[in-house]
Amino acid sequence: MAPTDEFCGIDPGEMGKLAASLRGAADRLTAFHQEFGRKLGQHGISTPALREIADIADWGRTQVSMLHGRAELIQALDAEGGPGSKGASGQGLVRLPDELAGFEFAQALARTYGDDILVKHSGELQAALIHQHAGEIAQLAENPQAAAAFFALLPAKARDALPTVIAATGSKTAEQDLAAFSKALGAALRAPTLVPAFAKVRSDLVKPVKGKIVAWNRLALLKGANAPSGVRSAAARALVLDDFTENPHQDWRAGTIGSQPHGLPPDLVAMGLEVLTGDGAATRDAFAKMGGDGVTLNQSEKMKRFLDYAKEVATGDDVADAFGRVMEAGSEATTEKPGQHSPAAAAFTLDMMKVAGSFGDDLPQRAKDSMGVIAKSYIHELASGARFDRAANRASGMEIPRHWNPLPGVTPAFYLSPGDTSRFLKTFVGEEQVVKEFNSAVARFRHDTLLSAARLDAQGSADYFSDTSIMFGDLGSVAFKTAKDVLGAEDTVSDMARNFTKNTAAFILGGLPLADPIVDSVAELGWEITQAYIISSASDEWADSFETQVQAATNERADLAKRLKYDMAYLLHSGGYPANELPEELVSTTTGALKTYDEFVADAKHEATDGKKWEQILQEKLTVYDDWMDSNDTLDKKIERSSRTQTSDLAENLLKAVN
């Protein structure tokens, strides 16, 4: 039966009276049939009416059974009822959704599991029976009130043992079968509580229990339920996290028998965190309230407690992995857009970044990927945090620092100090794929922000383009120093040289095709060049090492200074900055705008012949480009100034004093 919002009101006591009355009537009809049938038979008289009277009596008895069954079901679903409750005559009207057919289906399933499968069988047979009816359990999710009735009627002991019982059977479908129960439970929890007895189930799930195994089972059932935020937070806290916050130094393992078949961690702390994953509101609520009124730890100290624990115990990988994903949820890293984070998520993330940064490269390994996810989402905050041009001695906080100069298109929700920025970058700087994805986010942000600044500068006398260039120069410099601190100067230079060769310089020799769309190519290569130029200008030793490694791989020395100038010129012209008309040789046939550097390379290769190398043709094309820039004095100065500000090592040197 499809779910409905309509109610039916039933008085179990009155229904019992009705059943008794109906039974009495059926008995009287039966007696009448027997008496008159005998008398009429004595005279050889028969009549179909007597048979009809007998049928009516039989029907009445079946209805009596149905009425008694429904009365018992209604009593069990009442707030004062439950499995095995007798109820009281005259208890009054019980209001329930008009879902009697659904309730009866749920009751049959609850009896099948609670009175038979879960208590009378074991091993392969039990596994087969559980799986046989798992589809019916999953279907309950389509009727949340029937799902609520199922869990209200299932004995609490059976519910609290469900995950470990399923696992103990050795079933190959254990994870799938538990997911069916979780799905049904989640549907019931998300719906309004219209079945009174389910209120007790909901209440039980968020209460502390004595045994770790029961707590683990409840958390395992909730893990895949997609329960409401309030239920997740309350359950995680009550079943483990409040106690952990007060007394972390105890054995939190709940055993491995139930965890392995379900792919869940045996550590109770990790399970508590797992219930919070994917729900930012639940995460923030849990960390705000964790430990109760008696705990004096602030949010940052609570976060640190989990990371300390993860580093101390054998199950630390599970804890760190879950903690990282919980931090992703609390920060809304994947649900809110960069530069548009809500105050609640931002405040949570500020605390998290400072705590994670205090561990730096020593952050538990399994949490590092999540730090990269958060970093991409909070690129506005990290780019602003690297700035040294304003309020260099600022402390991290939610308020705008004194003497701060906001930049267009850069909208941080909080303000990091350069030191906290560097320390947070250290949490993932050694992870190649994470760094690659972070650099891609920086590249696109840099491109879009500089392009926006160029458009604004084209409309007035402001110099947002140069100021924004300074910010990205500072970010690149801070990132370079951070990488050196973690990886060492030699490895950092080698890694950057290798990436530059792969992503930029190799293109000159045909190693990479022209990216599509062009904007992504320009963004990626622009940031690669900026980072490479930072190395080349940092010190002669590193510059020589970098250029030697690039040259060894490409047989050509990359002219980084010119590459960066061309990048600046492309962004300024794309933004509409005033300039002379482009010579025909500089106009892209693809976009109708100024060619990218990579388009010049592609054209040169296409035009190359046996008698004339593509490098010579490229130089001729770039000479036209240089002449055009020189003919635009204001544009040329802006290009030069912006290029130089992105390659300063001032930020790195100042950061040494901060750290």
Which DSSP string corresponds to 147-201?
Answer: HHHHHHHS-HHHHHHHHHHHHHTT-TTHHHHHHHHHHHHHHHHHS---SHHHHHH
Could you write out the DSSP letters of every residue in 455-524? HHHHHSS--HHHHHHHHHHHHHHHHHHHHHHHH-HHHHHHHHHHHHIIIIIHHHTTSSPPPSSHHHHHHH
Identify the pLDDT of residue 643: 79
- What are φ and ψ of residue 95, in 5° steps? -100, 125
| Number of neighbours of residue 264 by Cβ within 10 angstroms | 23
pTM of this prediction exceeds 0.85? no
Cα–Cα distance between 632 and 634 in angstroms, integer? 6
Long-range contacts of 34-37 (CB under 8 A, 24+ apart): none
Cα–Cα distance between 136 and 117 in angstroms, integer? 14
Quick: pLDDT tens for 157-204. Answer: 999 999 999 999 989 999 999 999 999 999 999 999 888 899 999 999
If DSSP codes are grouped into helix, strand and coil, which group holds residue 225? Answer: coil
Output the CA torsion sign for 306, 311, 314, 319. Answer: positive
Identify the pLDDT of residue 575: 92
If DSSP codes are grouped into helix, strand and coil, which group holds residue 267? Answer: strand
Nearest to 213 by CA among 138, 155, 268: 268
Cα–Cα distance between 270 and 157 in angstroms, integer? 24
**Within its chain, how far is the Cα of 468 from the centroid?**
31
**CA within 13 Å, CB half, 468:** 28
Strand (E) or helix (H) holding 291: none
| Number of neighbours of residue 84 by Cβ within 10 angstroms | 8
Domains, the chain:
9-80 (1.10.287), 455-656 (no CATH)
> Low-confidence residues of the chain, pLDDT below 50?
1-5, 81-90, 497, 500-518, 538-540, 542-543, 546, 550-558
Quick: pLDDT tens for 58-88. Answer: 676 666 556 556 667 777 788 654 444 444 4
